[in-house]
Structure 1
């Protein structure tokens, strides 16, 4: 478990959790609804709950000082890379550094698991997410894994390691 305090004094902690708890399921459903409001079903690539509980997935939850789940994120460890999945911060907790902390935590977990490459897919209209990923060193690339070219998707990757940690 990692405790974080951001400049606006919002305290939160990050920990690996089972995604199949009612409050976390509610967060995942909120993220699904947001994605569904922006993109057709064939352009949403959410890992379902069962897949989030697989042995190759590390699922983290950020909770505020009262223990309320305010953000989620996961990495799926694949052959040769890790994939970032299910990043979501509730609207009322945005702008407080939580997404940066979740991303940094997941990058460290991927690297600790022996993966020096982190990839992701997100939508073209997820402007805040795209800006975060670009600020944190992700570069655009083509589809990977089972993904196909999709005009509504953006594919990105980042090299992890000592050089990346100083950025």
Structure 2
């Protein structure tokens, strides 16, 4: 089951903390994970939505979208959403949770009037890259906080 959840809710904060810990492991550094500026309000409808995946009463994944034009670079069309904080707990990986979350994020973005979604990931995340490419995402020029990072790879897909 996938349910909308406030980004600041305890379950969301717990999953985001797990994302950050994993990103710190994969990329090294100070333990902060992704340092892209993110505010909880960015995931509030109608400018975004945050989702949590549940299995057997336990949260096993999360992800959301935010309207990129309102929170990022000038000149971005208003109908472009950015996917952020995609995560699947290790025990739920390879079970379809990530694909289901991605589909739910895309559907909610489409329902929110978005025509395109973009995202940043990194070379140390080959599982994420494989997921996005399998879902039809193609490489786009890097953008945002990590635009100049040699480990950053950005993807986009029309909805």
**TM-score bucket (shorter structure):** 0.7 to 0.9
Q: How does 1:100-111 map to 2 (within 5 A)?
A: 100-111=99-110
Alpha-carbon distance in structure 1 between the residues aligned to 2:158 and 2:33? 26
Distance 1:153 1:109, change over 3 A: same
Deviations 1:72-113 (A, max 9, x none): 000012323000100001000111101000000011111111
Deviations 1:36-56 (A, max 9, x none): 112246983455463555442
Quick check: 1:72 aligned with 2:62?
yes
In the comparison of the two structures, how many residue pairs are matched? Answer: 147
Gap regions ≥5 residues in structure 2: 69-77
Deviations 1:93-134 (A, max 9, x none): 111101000000011111111111110000111011100000
Alpha-carbon distance in structure 2 between the residues aligned to 1:145 and 1:27? 23
TM-score (structure 2 length as normaliser): 0.82
Gap regions ≥5 residues in structure 1: 1-12, 161-167
**Cα-Cα RMSD:** 2.1
Kindly indicate whether the alpha-carbon contact (under 8 Å) linking 1:52 and 1:59 is maintained by their aligned counterparts in 2.
no
Kindly indicate whether the alpha-carbon contact (under 8 Å) linking 1:43 and 1:150 is maintained by their aligned counterparts in 2.
no
Cα shift at 1:145: 4.7
